[in-house]
Structure 1
Amino acid sequence: MSATSYQTLNKGELTQLLDIAREAIRGHFSSGLPKSPEYSLYGRKLLAPAACFVTLEVNGQLQGCLGSTAAHSPLVLEVHNKARASAYQDRRFMPLTEEQLSQLTIEISVLSTPEIIDIDSEQALVDFLAQNKLGLILADNHQQALFLPQVWKKLKSPTNFIKQLKLKAGWSADYWSKTMTVKTFDVTSIKGKYY
Structure 2
Amino acid sequence: MSVTSCPPPPKPALNKGEMTQLLDIAREAIRSHFSEALPRPPQLDLYNRKLLANGACFVTLEVDGELQGCLGTVTANEPLVLEVHNKARDSAYQDRRFMPLTEEQLSSLTIEISVLSDPKLLQVDSEEALIAYLEEHKVGVILTEHHSQAVFLPQVWDKLASPAAFIKALKQKAGWPINHWSPNVRVKTFTTTQIKGKYFSQFV
Q: TM-score range by the shorter chain?
A: over 0.9
Query: What is residue 126 of structure 1 aligned with on the other side?
Result: 131
Please state whether the residue corresponding to 2:196 is helix, strand or coil.
Answer: strand
Deviation of 1:32 (Å): 2.5
Tell me the SS of whatever aligns to 1:27.
helix
For 2:90, what is the secondary structure of its paired residue? Answer: helix
- After the TM superposition, which parts of structure 1 deviate over 4 Å for at least 4 consecutive aligned residues? none
> Gaps (5+ residues) in structure 1?
none
Code of the aligned partner of 1:65: C
Task: Find the counterpart in structure 2 of residue 109 from structure 1.
Answer: 114
The residue correspondences of 1:53-132 to structure 2 (distance < 5 A) are 53-132=58-137
Match of 1:15 among 5, 20, 24: 20
| Matching residue of 1:181 | 186
CA distance in 2, matches of 1:173, 1:91: 24
Superposed displacement of residue 174, structure 1: 1.2
> SS at the partner of 2:106?
helix
Normalised TM-score (structure 2): 0.91
1:165 maps to 2:170 = yes
Deviations, residues 78-110 of structure 1 (Å, cap 9, x unaligned): 000000000000111111111111111101011
User: 2: CA distance between counterparts of 1:8 and 1:37?
Assistant: 21
Matching residue's letter, 2:68: Q
Three-state SS of the structure 1 residue aligned to 2:99 is coil
TM-score by length of 1: 0.96
Q: Which of 124, 132, 142 is the aligned partner of 1:137?
A: 142
1:29 to 2:52 alignment: no
Correspondence for 1:49: 54
1:176 Cα deviation from its structure 2 partner: 1.1
Q: Give the Cα separation in 2 of the matches to 1:158 and 1:136.
A: 11
Work out whether residues 12 and 115 of structure 2, in 8 Å CA contact, stay in contact via their aligned partners in 1: no
SS at match of 2:110: strand
Count of residue pairs the alignment pairs up: 192
The one of 123, 134, 158 aligned to 1:153: 158
2:3 alignment partner in structure 1: none
* RMSD of Structure 2 on Structure 1 (CA): 1.2
Partner Cα separation in structure 1 for residue 62 and residue 79 of structure 2: 25
CA 1:7–1:141 in 2, change beyond 3 Å: closer, same or farther? closer
What is the alpha-carbon distance in structure 2 between the residues aligned to residue 194 and residue 82 of structure 1? 15
Sequence identity percentage: 67
Whole-angstrom distance in 2 between the partners of 1:7 and 1:178: 30
Query: Is residue 12–residue 116 contact of structure 2 (8 Å, CA) maintained in 1?
Result: no
**Higher RCO (CA 8 Å, separation ≥ 6 residues):** 2
